[in-house]
């Protein structure tokens, strides 16, 4: 029997792994051959990659139905991260290929990052830093400095990361509310936060909006002109989930018009920012899709992906299957 083959697809533009794939090889050992391939799109896939028994894919490299059709022997596609919107999960399902993710590796980091952005906005850390370094001391941003205990922190999506963020916000003194139509009754009581029965209800009472839902057909452009207008005047918006949950043109326009007091966007639709005009949007903090990132989280993420890939090529049960394909 030939040795199983596990291929790692990294993003050529900005590779996130290492040339030796040391973490993955340590987990997989001699059970499979591990190769690494740099691609910008699945059009860059070579024949060796297409012959792999399992594929680990980093988040910037899209894998479409066209690319999936080329995978001759693949049993599982493992997304190195939480989101799997970059993979055509339906096309994989039709070919009997399991799609898995790593949903919990960056829970702490993303929750911490959301809170960091919220604090930076509510306490105007970056404008104050710029003013101090310009040798000024007039505190021009006083109208946007807020007392946390008077503010409602509204969360969309109370999953792992949303819950971790809610607990941190509570500890800082925010009043915390959330909207999540998929949670059973009582979830609010378990965490000790207030439940809104509709998105509109949550937005109307929110001073700091923080998004923690997946990107799918239901949530694409969930927040647009109408939704931003429902927020309290002078509200702040934080997004550490997926960029296209917020319509980019809407939030940039709301910032330019002063309808929002600020936004902290770790992710943004059609990222990265594309023009100097977008980058110069007032009261915008942007942080390079880095909320997930820490030394510890990347080790955990890569180790989990490697463990799932190893299970796929050795006929073991798979973790974190997101497209319903469990039989190998």
Tell me the C-alpha to C-alpha distance, in Å, between residue 145 and each of 120, 151, 245, 260. Answer: 10, 12, 27, 13
The alpha helices in 176-247, defined as continuous H runs, are 187-191, 199-204, 225-230
Helix (H) or strand (E) holding 56: strand 54-57
Contact indicator for 237, 96 with CB cutoff of 8 Å = no
Nearest to 46 by CA among 55, 37, 54, 34: 37
Active site residue 242: yes
Active site residue 227: no
Q: Which of 168, 242, 247, 302 is catalytic?
A: 242
- The length of the chain is 328
What sign results for the dihedral spanned by CA atoms 57, 63, 67, 72?
positive
Q: Which of 131, 271, 278, 300 is catalytic?
A: 271
Active site residue 271: yes
CA separation for the pair 177, 179 (Å, rounded): 7
Q: Which of 36, 247, 289, 302 is catalytic?
A: 289
HSE on the CB side for 242, CA within 13 Å?
Answer: 21
What are the residue numbers of the active site?
242, 271, 289
């Amino acid at each position: 029997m030939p040795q199983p083959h596990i291929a790692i697809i990294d993003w050529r533009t900005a590779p996130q792994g290492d040339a030796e794939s040391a973490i993955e090889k340590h987990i997989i050992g001699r059970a499979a051959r591990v190769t690494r391939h740099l691609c910008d799109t699945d059009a860059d896939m070579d024949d060796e990659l297409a012959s792999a028994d399992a594929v680990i894919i980093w988040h910037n490299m899209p894998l479409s139905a066209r690319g999936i059709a080329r995978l001759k022997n693949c049993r599982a596609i493992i997304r190195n991260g939480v989101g799997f919107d970059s993979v055509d999960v339906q096309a994989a399902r039709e070919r009997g290929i399991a799609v898995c993710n790593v949903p919990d590796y960056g829970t702490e980091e993303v929750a911490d990052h959301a809170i960091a952005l919220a604090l930076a906005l509510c306490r105007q850390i970056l404008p104050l830093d710029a003013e101090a370094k310009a040798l000024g001391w007039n505190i021009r941003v006083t109208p946007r400095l807020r007392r946390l205990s008077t503010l409602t922190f509204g969360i969309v999506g109370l999953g792992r990361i949303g819950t971790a963020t809610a607990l941190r916000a509570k500890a800082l003194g925010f009043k915390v509310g959330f909207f999540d139509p998929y949670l059973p009754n009582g979830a609010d009581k378990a965490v000790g936060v207030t439940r809104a029965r509709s998105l509109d209800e949550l937005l109307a009472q929110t001073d700091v909006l923080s998004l923690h839902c997946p990107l799918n057909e239901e949530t694409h452009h969930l927040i647009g002109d109408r939704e931003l207008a429902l927020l309290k005047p002078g509200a702040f918006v934080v997004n550490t989930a997926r960029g296209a949950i917020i319509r980019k043109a809407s939030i940039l326009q709301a910032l330019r018009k002063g309808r929002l007091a600020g936004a902290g966007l770790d992710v943004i639709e059609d990222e990265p920012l594309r023009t100097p005009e977008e980058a110069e949007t007032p009261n915008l903090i942007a942080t390079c899709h880095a909320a997930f990132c820490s030394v510890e989280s990347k080790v955990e993420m890569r180790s989990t992906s490697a463990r799932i890939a190893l299970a796929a090529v050795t006929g073991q049960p798979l973790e974190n299957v997101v497209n319903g394909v469990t039989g190998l």
